[in-house]
Every structure is written in structure tokens, then in C-alpha cells.
Amino acid sequence: MALSTSYNVTAAKGAQTNLENLLRTVSPVETPLYSTLSQSAAPKATLNEWLVDSLASPEIGGTIDGVDLTLSASGTNFQNLIESRERLGNRVQTIRDAFATSRQSEMVDVAPGGSLFAASKAKSLLQLKRSIETAIGSGNDQNVGSSSAAAKLCGLGIWSDPTATGNTFDTSAKQAFRAVSGSRVSLASLTESAFRGLLQAVYTAAGSKGTYNLFAGPAVMNKITDYTRSTTANGNFSFDQDVSGKTLVRSVLTYVSDYSTINIIPDLFLGRVNGSASGTDTVEGTVNTDRAYLIPGDDTVSLKFLEGITVQDLPDNGAGKRAFSEAMLTLRVSNPRALGSII
């Protein structure tokens, strides 16, 4: 006669099961760009524009005493200091996450308790912020949109590209205000000397010794952390740190250079594009560990919202509750020359 055990008395045969009152989200949820960049209302337009200007080279030749200034059609000593201005801009992108629950699902007990609609709303807001983070840090160029294609904002991948053209830098006048040569370094060549060269290029172009933030994928962070070690002649590693506390610290979160102080912030949502992978960009659902953007710690780069994050309830037509979370925003980069990147 067979013995009934816990192995053969299954749930189908009456065994009780226990589902803990716990739900854990296992996907990354931190959105440092969205959380760090300044945010404000955008002008009531689908294309946000701003003016940029540059200064002439310093003049050290001096002025001859006693010479009058002339202003005529044939020649002048005066300058038109306005003609060097240029207009940059970025499109507003609508990002949406829709959800629904049936009427019956709201009436039954489910783990971990509470309303499924409320839980869906909370999850939708998390997903929306992840999508906003991905758009900001993307390699997408801006697109005006149409009845068959959504409008897209230009992400940091284009704004930090010294060779960018496309819709954002579509004229030579605009290209004069791109990120500068030397401000983009490949991950493969990211020695400490190359990193310092990147910082020097940005400082030379922007002239600011303020605090910067480096939003970086894991592979970039690992490279920078390796600056704290060196390889000895026998192939062993030598670490430049105090080990009296018997704790090996392998982390660099702040880098102080001759030009600026860099706060290094991990980010898993950088360097993706909508559609097919292109160059060093990955598709939007794939983590790009090799990307980093160097951004001034002020409001040089900011988020402009035509509509902030909202949740809109839709009519219940009989099937159950429906709603969507949504934001309409763009990315303003008032000085692309102040940006750096690692790809």
C-alpha cells in the first residue's frame, strides 16, 4: 500500500499552499537623470527653441591713437555682434503607459492585498519614469512626428556628439555649437590620460571649473575604478589605498581633476535607440553598459515639461477600469559644448 507523503499530495489533490503577502519588483527602477536634472514648464509649443551665441577671439593688437571710427557701406570699424547668434531646439515627446483591470479582478482577494488597479497605477508610474530616463539618455535624434510615427526628442547621445548632423544639427551654423572635438572618448581607449583629455576638452570649450555629473554605465564605472590600481612587473595588482582597516575599497564615486570635480552616478538607461541598434547604441530594451554622459551640475541640461507626469482615468465601458500615465517633455541643452561622452 502506497504511503501518502508531501511529495504526492499535490495542490490538485487538496494540499494547501501559502502565498506570502509580498510583491517584489526585480527590475531596475532608479532613474538618476530624471531625478537630478532641473525641471520646469515648457513654452506652449511642440518645438522648444533657445538662442546660443559665441564670443569673438580676444583682440590684443591695440588701437592706434587719434584714429576715428567709421561707419559706411564700403567699410566700418563696427561689428554686428548679433549675427553670431543661432537658434537650437528640441521636440516635445509624449511618453505614455496604459493599463486596465477587469471588474471581476477588483472583487477577488489577491496578493499582496489591496486594489489591483492601484497596484497597476503604481507600476505604470515606475515604467513611465524608466521610459523618460531612456529617452533622455538615448541616441535618438529629434523627429517632428506624423500620423504614423511619434514625435521624438533628441537624446543626450546626439547632443554630446561632436560630429552630429541630422535634424538637431541640420545646418553648418548649428554645427558650430556642437560638442567639441576631444569631448567624446571610446570605452576601449578610456585610460586615465584619455579621461583627463576629455575633461580638458570640455573645460577649454566651456571655460567652467564647476561641478559636473558623469552618468555612467557599469563598464564605464569599472574602467574609472581601475584608475586606482596599477599592474606590477610580475602581473599582480597594486592598489593605492590604506588597507589598515582590512577592507578593500574598489569604488570611485568622485573624481577631482585640474578642471572640475566629477560626481560619478551609475545609470542603466543610457545609449539606447528606438528601433534597430545603431553604432554603439543598443535597442531600447537592452542595457548599454558602455555609455556615459558628462553634464554640468547646473541647469545647462534640463527637462522642460509641456505636461508633467499625470494619470488619466478613462471611462469604464463595462470591461473594467482603464487609465494611462503620461508625460509630455523635451530636453533642453543650452550649451552642447559643455558636454562630454564615453561610448
Rounded to whole angstroms, the Cα distance separating 306 from 93 reads 9
Please give the mean pLDDT across all residues of the chain: 89
Phi, psi of 12 (to 5 degrees): -65, -25
Q: Report the pLDDT value the prediction gives residue 243, as an integer from 0 to 100.
A: 61
Asked if residue 21 is part of any domain, the answer here is no
Tell me: pLDDT of 133 over 70: yes
Asked if residue 62 is part of any domain, the answer here is no
Asked if residue 187 is part of any domain, the answer here is yes
Tell me: pLDDT of 6 over 60: no
Asked if residue 203 is part of any domain, the answer here is yes
C-alpha cell at 323: 487609465
Single-letter amino acid code for the residue at 43: P
Query: Where would I find the beta strands (DSSP E) of the chain?
Result: 38-41, 47-52, 86-91, 93-102, 184-185, 211-216, 229-231, 237-239, 254-256, 261-266, 272-273, 282-283, 292-296, 301-314, 320-333, 340-342
Torsion of CA 217, 220, 225, 229, to 10 degrees: 160
Asked if residue 72 is part of any domain, the answer here is no
State mean pLDDT over 231-260.
74
State mean pLDDT over 222-243.
72
Q: Report the pLDDT value the prediction gives residue 14, as an integer from 0 to 100.
A: 65
Q: Report the pLDDT value the prediction gives residue 13, as an integer from 0 to 100.
A: 60
Asked if residue 36 is part of any domain, the answer here is yes
Which residue, 298, 227, 224, 302, is CA-closest to 265?
224
More confident residue, 343 or 107: 343
Residues 6+ apart with CB under 8 A from 241: 228, 248, 249
Tell me: pLDDT of 9 over 60: no
User: Which sign does the torsion angle of CA 136, 138, 143, 147 carry?
Assistant: negative
Whether 308 contacts 237, CB under 8 Å: no
Asked if residue 153 is part of any domain, the answer here is yes
State mean pLDDT over 87-95.
98
Which range has the worst mean pLDDT, 6-20, 31-45, 141-155, 256-270? 6-20
Q: Which of 15-29, 237-251, 305-319 has the highest mean pLDDT?
A: 305-319
Which residue, 251, 294, 291, is CA-closest to 268?
291
Whether 169 contacts 116, CB under 8 Å: no
Is pTM beyond 0.85? Reply is yes
Name the band, by pLDDT with cuts 50, 70 and 90, for residue 250.
Answer: confident
Q: Report the pLDDT value the prediction gives residue 144, as an integer from 0 to 100.
A: 96
User: Which sign does the torsion angle of CA 59, 64, 65, 66 carry?
Assistant: negative
Tell me: pLDDT of 25 over 70: yes
User: Which sign does the torsion angle of CA 63, 67, 68, 72 carry?
Assistant: negative
State mean pLDDT over 95-106.
94
State mean pLDDT over 129-136.
97
Pairing type for strands 261-266 and 254-256 reads antiparallel
State mean pLDDT over 32-46.
95
Q: Report the pLDDT value the prediction gives residue 17, as an integer from 0 to 100.
A: 63
Rounded to whole angstroms, the Cα distance separating 271 from 268 reads 9
CATH number for 45? 3.90.1690
Asked if residue 134 is part of any domain, the answer here is yes
Q: Which helix (H) or strand (E) holds 97?
A: strand 93-102
Tell me: pLDDT of 28 over 90: no
Name the band, by pLDDT with cuts 50, 70 and 90, for residue 279.
Answer: confident
At 215, is the secondary structure helix, strand, or coil? strand
Provide the number of structural domains found in the chain. 1
Q: Report the pLDDT value the prediction gives residue 210, as an integer from 0 to 100.
A: 87
Q: Report the pLDDT value the prediction gives residue 77, as an integer from 0 to 100.
A: 75
The parent domain of residue 323 ranges over: 27-52+82-233+247-342
Whether 263 contacts 214, CB under 8 Å: yes
